[in-house]
Chain A
């Protein structure tokens, strides 16, 4: 049986303009912290896509097989995009904290040990380094120090892409922690199929390891297997958990038992839309 607690009392919604409704939600909505973290996640992933794919043009990754003049030329051509894009990346990197907190909260809400939430939180606190910041630092250095020895620029290029594409271990273990929590959970926080999708995602994280060895072909950091298929699975996985986290927040009753079925039970306190 669910031991649901009553949602915190909120004052009567006064009505009014869109801005007033927004202000009321910010001050009184019982799930405002969860919704805040969720919207941060949506904004972050949209920015991440725009910055990495369109502004800096580091994704899809350029060839690992280029010689020194080509790499130097690439830095020269992308100078402005790299500085602008990664400047914004440095600014938004703090958004990872509420995102990771929400992911850990999902495990906190499950009927499993707190160890899952804590270990996931610690791992993903570190994940921003290989997943974003190391590349941002190396690329910014390469773009800002164009006058240095070209061999050092190539070193930065390799360091940036190998750190980004080749260090998926933390994401692999994170996916496994989350999927095991979901499989053990009795509170139905997430559907079991998402755990199985997590297993597929974890296995594709293994596949990028050969990027350290090969400079061309399907297993290079821009290869059909190491990057393209991996990216498709990652996008599907990310889209799935964003939608499922939204459903979790909608169903959240701040209890300790199974999350209520949204069709069976309406929220005691409605958000002002």
Chain B
């Protein structure tokens, strides 16, 4: 009876999204914005499919796959960071946050390397309509990655001192990084996979 009485008073915590709800609005804004960019890309592609396919053949799918694996690994690392922070294991959380930065740096280096390779092949921003979109989408995404480094810097700064630690902030930063990853998966599918 006592247990029953106690269970009657157990309050179920309200369901909430991880991190600041405001950050999820950012995810929505970004998803809408990139949907617009993808729609333009696909619409133009249908008008000139041969040219797009021909240009697309110059992209190295292996680099795209490698970068996708790297960013997915970074998302895994930031998810582990959130889990560790939730468990109060802040040293481990900082290690995973640093690993996320590391994966991000690898991604950026390979992305710039890919650009240099394409420019050497003669595929520049003005060489074809496909490469206009390629450089536009990948550079806009790289700007998101660079902003992500600032976000992860804030995350590590907050984790370093017990006075500054906030689980909500950790989750908010992680949500931003997952958005960066999510956008890349979409861009990868559009530029490298869709034929």
Contact = CB atoms under 8 A, between A and B. Distances in A.
Interface of A: 191-193, 195-197, 199-200, 203-204, 206-207, 210, 213-214, 217-219, 224-225, 229, 232-233
Contacts of B25: 193, 196-197
Lowest 10 A-B CB distances belong to which pairs? A196-B26, A193-B22, A192-B22, A193-B25, A229-B36, A224-B40, A200-B29, A218-B40, A225-B40, A200-B33
A196 B140 contact: no
Given A199-B26, A214-B132, 19 more contacts: A191-B22, A193-B21, A193-B22, A193-B26, A196-B26, A197-B25, A199-B147, A203-B143, A203-B144, A204-B33, A207-B136, A210-B136, A213-B126, A214-B126, A217-B129, A218-B44, A225-B40, A232-B36, A233-B33
B28 to A, nearest CB: 9
Contact of B26 (A200, A219, A225): A200
A176 B21 CA distance: 21
Main secondary structure of the interface of A (DSSP, over half): helix
A48 B33 CA distance: 25
SS class of chain B's interface: helix, strand, loop or mixed? Answer: helix
B30 interface: yes
Contacts of B36: 225, 229, 232
A24 B169 CA distance: 47
B157 interface: no
A244 B21 CA distance: 18
Nearest to B172: A192
Interface in B1-51: 20-23, 25-26, 29-30, 33, 36-37, 40, 43-44
A193 B175 CA distance: 14
B110 interface: no
Nearest to B132: A219
Contacts of B30: 200
Contacts of B40: 218, 224-225, 229
Contacts of B37: 225, 229
Interface residues of B, number: 24
Contact of B33 (A214, A219, A224, A229): A229
Nearest to B39: A224
Contacts of A206: 140, 143
Contacts of B132: 210, 214, 217-219
B125 interface: yes
14 contacts: A191-B22, A193-B21, A196-B22, A196-B25, A197-B25, A203-B140, A203-B144, A210-B136, A214-B132, A217-B132, A219-B132, A224-B43, A225-B36, A229-B37
Interface in B151-179: none
| Most chain B beta-carbon neighbours within 10 Å: one of A213, A217, A229 | A229
B140 A192 contact: no
Given A191-B22, A213-B126, A197 B33 contact: no
A195 B44 CA distance: 32
A195 B22 CA distance: 9
A14 B81 CA distance: 62
Nearest to A218: B40
Nearest to A236: B29
A197 B29 contact: yes
Contacts of A232: 36
Contacts of A224: 40, 43
Interface-centre pick from A207, A214, A224, A232 (highest chain B CB count, 10 A): A224
A64 B143 CA distance: 28
